[in-house]
Amino acid sequence: MEHNIKKRSSFSGGIGFVLAAAGSAVGLGNLWRFPYLAAQYGGGIFILVYIILALTFGFALMSTEIAIGRKTKQSPGLAYKTLHKKFGFLGYLAALVPIIILPYYCVIGGWVVKYMVTFVSGQGLSAAEDTFFPTFIGDTGSPLIYYAIFLGFTAIIILLGVNKGIEKISKFLMPLLLLLSVVIVIYVFTLPNAAEGIKYYLLPDFSKFSVMTVCAAMGQMFFSMSLAMGIMITYGSYSRNDVNLTKSVNQIEIFDTIVALLSGFMVVPAVYIFSGEAGTKASGAGLMFVTLPKVFEQMNGGVFIGALFFVLVFLAALTSSISVMEAIVSSFMDRFKLSRTKSSVICLIICVAMGIPSSLGNGIWSHIKLLGMDFLTFFDYLSNSLLMPFVALCTTILVGWIVGPDVVTDEITKNGEKMGRKKLYRIMVRYVAPILLVIILISYSLAQFGIITM
């Protein structure tokens, strides 16, 4: 990301840095992925595990990445190498994650475009029918067209280099998304039997706890907070030395988690009310698309609110897909010394090659399974459950045991900043995080191959 070095000091200070990092963090991970995982993994217990992980593990990993970035002032590939010459490979591994994520991210982005178009053209009520979603994603041509539209938008913005403009617009529109979410949540609270649904969403039921809950929550945390893929190193490298790092990490985490919890509130209690506990698991990755139209159907002016909502979700998804693609394109430019256009074209080709199976895997290619999963689920699994925990594990070994946690804590405290959770940090990177990650990687893989059941 050498071409970005000019920009390295461009964050205007603490708040500019936090907004940029939070803007990258908030996206489909919060709006689409978090609610369906929460529904699938037992509601309250998932939320509890997620919050505990975010406060301990997420805090440690995000501080580490931002501090490494700020200390080395390098892109991820070079940053790891600067810390230790044998760890340059981590930069490559981390750079692989966005390449796996972008294609299926754009497939889901395409679904959002479909819903946006349906609601904006006044057809919102038809989306509330049970058959609407499965028929749409099971089709061959139509989801591919919407996928192409979403990917096209992303690519054009990257090629024209106008992403800064989009970011400015979205900074202004994201609070609106937040406000609208609050309105929808309040409405969900007024539905009959709302209390039951809210209970399912918030009250942890410890009998539903399993290693899978931790695996899912951990993968979700990586995805949602853009961790273990070099992104936060890049952001750290742009941040100024006088930025209070711990405070920024807290703010980014709190903001990202609040948006996720709110999205869960819109979807999980409602699905519980409409279709009971079985319903919370039945729709899987399509939960948001199945449940929200039903909520809008019940609301006064629901078609209008639905239209506004999906436009805003579209923008949130677009700003994230732009930064994922930007991460890929700039690492191609760095590594292979290619022009922006050439890098973008290569990225597009990869994206089309991997995105088409991700889309068709819900329809005519649904008989093809990789480790028992359709393509989209497989790519999601590969990145969030294997690659990212592995990158995180290597990072904690590097920082905890090889260069030592002082590298990070010194970087954080070098301008007199107090690090409140310094002890916790040291214990996290040296012991808790690596052990937890090893357990997760092993048990998840064993379960995937059917050797153990969880």
Residues contributing to the site for ligand TRP (CB under 6 A):
24-25, 27-30, 98, 101, 223-224, 226, 229, 231, 320, 323-324, 327
State how far the Cα of 283 lies from the Cα of 413, in Å rounded to an integer: 47
Q: Which two tokens stand for residue 332?
A: 């191609």
For ligand TRP, the nearest residue by Cβ is: 29
Q: How far is the CB of 168 from ligand TRP (least distance, A)?
A: 17
Under a CB-based contact definition with an 8 Å cutoff, are residues 157 and 163 in contact?
A: yes
Q: How far apart are CA 16 and CA 221, in angstroms?
A: 23
Q: How far is the CB of 255 from ligand TRP (least distance, A)?
A: 12
Residue 147: CB minimum distance to ligand TRP, A: 17
Is the Cβ of residue 27 or residue 77 nearer to ligand TRP in the bound state? Answer: 27
Tell me the HSE value of 287 on the side-chain side, using a 13 A CA sphere.
32
Strand-pair partners of 370: 373
Look-up of token digits 């580490």: 64
CB atoms within 10 A of CB 170: 20
Nearer to ligand TRP (CB atom), residue 23 or residue 44: 23
Q: Which is nearer to ligand TRP, 170 or 224 (CB)?
A: 224
Distance in Å, CB of 391 to ligand TRP, minimum: 12
Residue pair 404/117 in contact by the 8 Å Cβ criterion = no
Cβ distance to ligand TRP smaller for residue 214 or 229: 229
Q: Quote the Cα angle for 229-232-237, to 5°.
A: 125
Provide the minimum distance between the beta carbon of 206 and ligand TRP in the complex, in angstroms, as a whole number. 28
What residues contact residue 332 under an 8 Å CB cut-off, 6+ apart? 338, 342, 343, 346, 347
Rounded least distance, CB 322 to ligand TRP, Å? 8
Toward ligand TRP, which CB reaches closer, 105 or 187?
Answer: 105
Our CB check for ligand TRP shows the closer of 303 and 351 to be 351
Q: Whole-number minimum distance, CB 31 to ligand TRP, in Å?
A: 8
For residue 317, the minimal CB distance to ligand TRP (Å) is 7
Of the two residues 159 and 447, which places its CB atom closer to ligand TRP in the complex? 159
Q: How far is the CB of 101 from ligand TRP (least distance, A)?
A: 5
- Residue 119, C-beta contacts closer than 8 angstroms, at least 6 positions apart: 127, 296, 303, 306, 307, 309, 310
* Least Å from the CB of residue 199 to ligand TRP: 27
The minimum distance between CB 169 and ligand TRP, in angstroms, equals 17
Query: Which residue, 112 or 128, is less far from ligand TRP as judged by CB?
Result: 112
Task: Tell me which residue of 352, 366, 321, 348 sits closest to 140, measured CA to CA.
Answer: 366
How many whole angstroms separate alpha carbon 37 and alpha carbon 280? 9
Q: How many Å apart are CA 364 and CA 370, to the nearest integer?
A: 15
Kindly tell me which of 263 and 409 has the beta carbon lying closer to ligand TRP: 263
d(CA 261, CA 255): 10
Shortest reach from residue 231's CB to ligand TRP, in Å: 5
Measured from the CB atom, the residue of 188 and 229 that comes closer to ligand TRP is 229
**Quick one: 98 or 269, whose CB is closer to ligand TRP?**
98
Whichever of 248 and 323 has its CB closer to ligand TRP, that residue is 323
